[in-house]
């Protein structure tokens, strides 16, 4: 606290990311990073761009990356906005599309950055409870709102909302934007991108952090009709004209183009996830079906915080949220088969 701070700063409750400890041999399953490395083509492209060219500013429009994303999804660059991680894209979405005289709606259990942006931008919001099984009921969102946002698959539950339900909502909520945060969609979901041409009220947000294993590069994007993209451009150009650096733009393009590596690694994660679910179920854990690169597990006889602490003592870090309704769950990122085996072995020991 300081008298030099703007009044708003006193009132902020900043987002707390999962910890990034620097311990050797840690099995780090707490922040949904990809256990496999990024595309070798992306790494080579970034390496080749580490040269005198860094003297120059990057392309402020990020056109090469927008084109690569557009090509991947069969859209035009005018339907693509790129940002410095999807967190930055989301920040511009909140400022550019959600400041209207009604509350923003999002699930009570979802990405915990959403209320943080509301605090930063003074956006009124209302949370809509998921069912006891963590399912999102789209009918609950048919109420006056400044916008609707949810993650699909949801975080931290991993649950997927079918495309048909999203379309049902888009048809009935036409006066505000529905934002689908698809950070995990490549691990088992159907993207709402296919609806972009038909629904001017739809914005899809994705990231290269998870399924393309580039959390460290900070690249995210939004897909929607040009009218929505222009709002984000206007906010960006009033905030930072060059959010994506030259390396991020070049690496992002190569990562979007390298479909082989992408397919191979996301399939490996999905197979490991399904195997890990079966093993955890044998140990007595319960979990909703996951379409993401993590699972959300609870054990009927064991306290989640104690399990997390016991895992930590064995060098394995998972995420535990001390929040209502989910404080008996652990969010466990899918690791390599070796990391998953270490997790199962440690849990077997702890539960014995
Ligand atoms: C990881 C995550 C993001 C942020 O991703 P970045 O692109 O790394 O900023 C956004 N939304 C959800 C739901 C996430 O889990």
Q: Which of 258, 287, 315 lies at the terminal end of a domain, its last residue? A: 258
Instruction: State the closest ligand 1 atom to the C-alpha of 90, by its place in the atom list counted from 1.
Output: 10
Predicted confidence at residue 262, as pLDDT, reads 98
Q: Is the CB of 294 under 6 A from ligand 1?
A: no
Residue 77 and residue 181 in one domain: yes
Residue 189 and residue 322 in one domain: no
Return d(Cα 37, Cα 24) in angstroms, integer: 18
As given in the structure block, the two tokens for residue 120 are: 């930063």
Predicted confidence at residue 36, as pLDDT, reads 96
- The alpha carbon of residue 75 and the mean position of all alpha carbons in its chain are separated, in whole angstroms, by 21
184 Cα–ligand 1 center, Å: 8
183 Cα–ligand 1 center, Å: 6
What CATH number is attached to the domain comprising 62?
3.40.640.10
Q: Is the CB of 211 under 6 A from ligand 1?
A: no
What CATH number is attached to the domain comprising 288?
3.90.1150.10
Residue 244 and residue 141 in one domain: yes
Residue 308 and residue 248 in one domain: no
Substitution candidate for ligand 1 out of 109, 153, 181, 334 with most atoms within 8 A of CB:
181
- Domain ranges, residue 296: 2-37+260-351
146 Cα–ligand 1 center, Å: 22
**Segment-wise mean pLDDT, segments of 10 residues, the chain, 352 residues:** 91 86 87 96 98 97 98 98 98 98 97 97 98 98 98 98 98 98 96 98 98 98 98 98 97 98 98 98 98 98 97 96 96 98 98 94
Return d(Cα 188, Cα 186) in angstroms, integer: 6
Predicted confidence at residue 62, as pLDDT, reads 98
Check: CB of residue 143 under 8 Å from CB of residue 127. no
Whose structure tokens read 């942006």? Answer: 117
Whose structure tokens read 């206007």? Answer: 234
Return d(Cα 120, Cα 314) in angstroms, integer: 38
Q: Is the CB of 83 under 6 A from ligand 1?
A: no
331: left (phi over 0), alpha (psi -120 to 50) or beta: beta
Q: Is the CB of 86 under 6 A from ligand 1?
A: yes
Give the three-class secondary structure for 66: helix
Instruction: State the closest ligand 1 atom to the C-alpha of 151, by its place in the atom list counted from 1.
Output: 13
Predicted confidence at residue 18, as pLDDT, reads 79
Residue 232 and residue 176 in one domain: yes
Q: Is the CB of 215 under 6 A from ligand 1?
A: yes
Return d(Cα 164, Cα 177) in angstroms, integer: 17
Predicted confidence at residue 25, as pLDDT, reads 84
Residue 252 and residue 266 in one domain: no
Q: Which residue, by CA, sits nearest to atom 14 of ligand 1?
A: 183
Residue 110 and residue 210 in one domain: yes
Q: What is the pTM of this model?
A: 0.97
Q: Is the CB of 209 under 6 A from ligand 1?
A: yes
Substitution candidate for ligand 1 out of 33, 86, 106, 243 with most atoms within 8 A of CB:
86
**Quick one: 14 exposed, middle or buried, by C-beta within 10 A (0-12, 13-18, 19+)?**
exposed
CA atoms within 13 A on the CB side of 37: 6
286 Cα–ligand 1 center, Å: 25
Q: Is the CB of 136 under 6 A from ligand 1?
A: no
Residue 53 and residue 126 in one domain: yes
288 Cα–ligand 1 center, Å: 21
Q: Give the chain's domain count.
A: 2
Residue 81 and residue 199 in one domain: yes
Residue 50 and residue 72 in one domain: yes
Give the three-class secondary structure for 223: strand
Return d(Cα 218, Cα 244) in angstroms, integer: 8
Q: Which residue, by CA, sits nearest to atom 11 of ligand 1?
A: 183
Residue 45 and residue 151 in one domain: yes
Q: Is the CB of 87 under 6 A from ligand 1?
A: yes
Return d(Cα 280, Cα 332) in angstroms, integer: 11
Return d(Cα 32, Cα 306) in angstroms, integer: 21
Predicted confidence at residue 19, as pLDDT, reads 78
């Amino acid at each position: 606290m300081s008298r030099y701070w703007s009044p708003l700063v006193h009132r902020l409750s900043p987002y707390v990311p999962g910890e990034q400890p620097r311990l050797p041999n840690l099995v780090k399953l707490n922040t949904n990073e990809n256990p496999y490395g990024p595309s070798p083509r992306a790494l080579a492209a970034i390496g080749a761009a580490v040269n005198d060219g860094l003297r120059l500013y990057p392309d402020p429009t990020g056109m090469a990356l927008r084109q690569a994303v557009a090509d991947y999804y069969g859209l035009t660059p005018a339907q693509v906005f790129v940002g410095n991680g999807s967190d930055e894209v989301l920040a511009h979405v909140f400022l550019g599309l959600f400041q209207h005289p009604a509350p923003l709606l999002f699930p009570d259990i979802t990405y915990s950055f959403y209320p943080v942006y509301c605090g930063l931008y003074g956006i009124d919001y209302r949370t809509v409870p998921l069912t006891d099984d963590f399912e999102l009921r789209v009918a609950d969102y048919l109420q006056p709102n400044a916008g609707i946002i949810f993650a699909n698959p949801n975080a931290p539950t991993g649950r997927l909302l079918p495309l048909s339900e999203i379309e049902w909502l888009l048809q009935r909520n036409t006066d505000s934007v529905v934002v689908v945060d698809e950070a995990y969609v490549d691990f088992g979901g159907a993207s709402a991108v296919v609806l972009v041409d038909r629904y001017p009220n739809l914005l899809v947000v994705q990231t290269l952090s998870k399924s393309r294993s580039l959390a460290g590069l900070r690249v995210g994007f939004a897909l929607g009709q040009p009218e929505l993209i222009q709002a984000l451009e206007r906010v960006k150009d009033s905030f930072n004209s060059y959010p994506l650096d030259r390396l991020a733009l070049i690496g992002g393009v190569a990562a979007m183009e390298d479909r082989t590596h992408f397919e191979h690694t996301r399939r490996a994660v999905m197979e490991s996830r399904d195997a890990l679910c079966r093993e955890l179920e044998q140990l007595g854990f319960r979990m909703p079906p996951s379409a993401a690169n993590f699972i959300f597990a609870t054990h009927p006889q064991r306290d989640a915080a104690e399990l997390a602490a016991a895992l930590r003592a064995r060098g394995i870090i998972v995420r535990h949220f001390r929040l209502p309704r989910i404080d008996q769950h652990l969010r466990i990122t899918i690791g390599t088969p070796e990391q998953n085996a270490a997790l199962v072995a440690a849990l077997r020991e702890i539960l014995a």
